[in-house]
Every structure is written in structure tokens, then in C-alpha cells.
Chain A
């Protein structure tokens, strides 16, 4: 079965880099995602990486994928107070061969940024 694990909490000082880690179990995952959720809001798609890539950079965000170890990380450079939120890692798995993918999420990492 599929399972996505994340640490629950991370605290960093404003201006430092944040690194949020995630492990997943399904080697057939095609895409891996990072979502951000602020209090009372839905999920905001931050970035994603295709499973045949090792790294993807998007402005302050860097995603690293180690497919051998099934490990995904999200690095946020120059972390700001506005980055305080819960970050979810998710893997995308195809089911039933119908061209349909569903997301399996981790429990989320609560990032607290100290001014």
C-alpha cells in the first residue's frame, strides 16, 4: 500500500533556509507534489516534480528527489513570516489504468517562522 511520511513540525528563523522532508512508498508514483495550506484555506499547489527528475528549482523553492530512497525534500530559501503554514507532500498514483491519478498525502509539516 501507499504511505507518505513527513515530520510534523519545523521551526526556523526568518531569513534562514527551511528544508521539509518526505518519504513515500509507491515506486510507481509519476509525480510528486508540494502543497501549502494556510489557516482556514484550501491547498495551494507550490510545485511538483516528475519522477524521472532529480531536482527542480522555482524561485525560492528547490525540490530534490531521491528515487532510490523514495525521499523528497522541499527547500525554501530566505524563509519569510508569510511562509508560515502547513506543507503537504503528495504522491500521484495511477489507479485502474483508466488514465486517472489520485493523490496520497502526508500528514503535513507545520512550518513556524520566527521573526
Chain B
């Protein structure tokens, strides 16, 4: 069974731009969660989607948004990028509840 895939793997943007990251969960998994990983803050929860609905949201500004499609694929968007948004963005999928989450390789975003 294929694992979680994320595209693109690397991205370089400038301040003020916006970016969209994509995540395809493991086949059959309906819950998708997003995390931000930085050296200073570690791994922080962004949001979780299930059946195209956001069920849970972390403590991030409204510039961070996401959505989920009917095939469970998910995208996250960051608008008006700031230098501090440079991070590894990780997507994880699970069957339904968010327990036993399997992670993708991440998208490395660099904001210049």
C-alpha cells in the first residue's frame, strides 16, 4: 500500500506571496492532519480534516487554511507569507479518528 505523499517536496517563496501544499493520504484513510515543524517550536498541530470538514484547528493565524476533497486528498494554503513561515510542513493520515497517524515526507518551505 502506498504511503502518504506530499507535493511539492521543496518550495522557495518570497514574503507576501501565497503557497499551496498538497497531501494524498494512504488509500482508505479519511482523516488528514497537518503539522508545522521548526527548529524553535518543534512540531505543532495546524488542523485536521475528515469527510471534507475541518474537525480541529491548532493555534495558528487565519493566514493558514486548508481543505479536503471528496477523495480525501487535502491541501493547505498559507497567504501573505512571512519569514517565520519557513518550516517543514508535514501531513499525516489515519483511518478515521486521528489515532495512529502515518506521516508523509513533508514539504520544505523556505520564505525569503
Contacts and interface: CB of A to CB of B under 8 A. Distances in A.
Interface of A: 30-31, 35, 41-45, 48, 88, 92, 95-96, 98-108
Given A102-B58, A103-B35, 5 more contacts: A41-B106, A42-B4, A43-B103, A48-B100, A103-B33
B98 A42 contact: no
Interface SS of B by simple majority: strand
A66 B55 CA distance: 31
Nearest to A108: B42
Interface in B6-45: 6, 31, 33, 35, 42-43, 45
B98 A102 contact: yes
In the complex, which range does the number of interface residues on chain B fall in?
A: 20 to 34
Q: Which of B48, B58, B90 has the most chain A CB atoms inside 10 A of its CB?
A: B48
A33 to B, nearest CB: 8
B101 A103 contact: yes
